[in-house]
Amino acid sequence: MTPQQFIDAALWFPETRETEPFGPGILVYKVREKVFALLMPGDTERPARISLKCDPGLALELRAQYPSVVPGYHLNKRHWNTVALDGTVPDDELAEMLRHSYERVVAGMRRADRDRLTAVLGDDLPPLPGNA
């Protein structure tokens, strides 16, 4: 997944907005002012990275399965993973991880917001190569 594909996928989710609260370059994706994803730019030495909220048990499983999935960079390492966009994690898995992060954040909202957002979301994954 490229950084632009990640941006497109993150903005696909209902009521998502992109911000740059840490200054130019680090993109933060929020639903109802709650962060569910971050995109850190890459450079010549390392690929772009994303950080996603995750169930603690699943976070450990993903870290064991993929070397490019590590504890969240500058985040609660129990609840966040950081993933290098280096091509080692399949796009469909990244799409599922992104959806899981969004759903984890929405699950903590008040019931009216949670019900509205999950109803709009349905069962689809964001459109990416392979699942569009």
Tens-digit pLDDT profile for residues 79-127: 999 999 999 999 999 999 999 999 999 999 999 999 889 888 777 667 6
Q: Answer whether residue 128 is part of any domain.
A: no
Domain extent for 96: 3-121
Residue 127 within a domain: no
Give the chain's domain count. 1
The long-range contacts involving 107-115, CB below 8 angstroms and separated by at least 24 positions, are: 108/34, 109/32, 109/34, 113/32
- pTM score: 0.91
The verdict on residue 130 lying in a domain is no
At residue 56, the pLDDT reads 97
The CATH number assigned to the domain holding 57 equals 3.90.1150.30
pLDDT at 120: 81
The residue among 18, 12, 14, 74 whose CA lies nearest residue 49 is 74
Residue 81 has a pLDDT of 97
Residue 97: per-residue pLDDT: 97
**Is there a domain that residue 50 lies in?**
yes
Residue at 129 is within a domain: no
